[in-house]
Copies of this chain bind each other. A is one copy, B any other.
């Protein structure tokens, strides 16, 4: 656990549960029980359950983008960078504690008018899109960023629906063709 024990214990527990069970299915009571803190302590740090969700999305967004950038940085060739990202997705989606994309999972639970939260999700996705753009800039193919990002999310959602590895590999194959 990190500094500011109580606050972080709350965020960590909430993040774990929001991810595994979904936002609506996770009650405040379960969060405080598993975090071992008082209910009022949670509300001292977060004005509402929605604020807690925002904290989860923000933290995971930073983490995820850093991880993807790190993966790309391990290669020099733009095409290799791109394919490495899909290989990373392959490893990720095959983990036992993988329950789908943190952001897409939440996206479908939100009411249409949750602008603030939808923006947090869109921001993380735009960062992925931008990452593909940066990778492809040196070879003047930054126009492919949209296509690669769409394959990225297509792979994630199809993997979620089918609980199977073929979508990520299929996305990788298409990526290889179009670059």
* A contact set with B: CB distance below 8 Å: 20-22, 24-25, 99-100, 103-109, 111-112, 118, 121-122, 125, 146-147, 149-151, 153-158, 160-163, 166-167, 170-171, 173-174, 177-178
**Which B residue sits closest to A106, measured CB to CB?**
B108
Separation of A60 and B139 alpha carbons in the complex (Å)? 45
Contacts of A21 in B (CB 8 A): 111-112
Separation of A151 and B148 alpha carbons in the complex (Å)? 11
Would you list the 3 A-B pairs with minimal beta carbon distance, nearest first?
A154-B154, A108-B108, A157-B157
B171 adjacent to A150 (CB under 8 Å): yes
Separation of A162 and B151 alpha carbons in the complex (Å)? 15
A154 adjacent to B162 (CB under 8 Å): no
User: Besides the contacts A104-B161, A108-B109, what 9 more A-B pairs have beta carbons closer than 8 Å?
Assistant: A100-B108, A118-B163, A125-B158, A146-B166, A147-B173, A151-B151, A153-B158, A153-B161, A154-B155
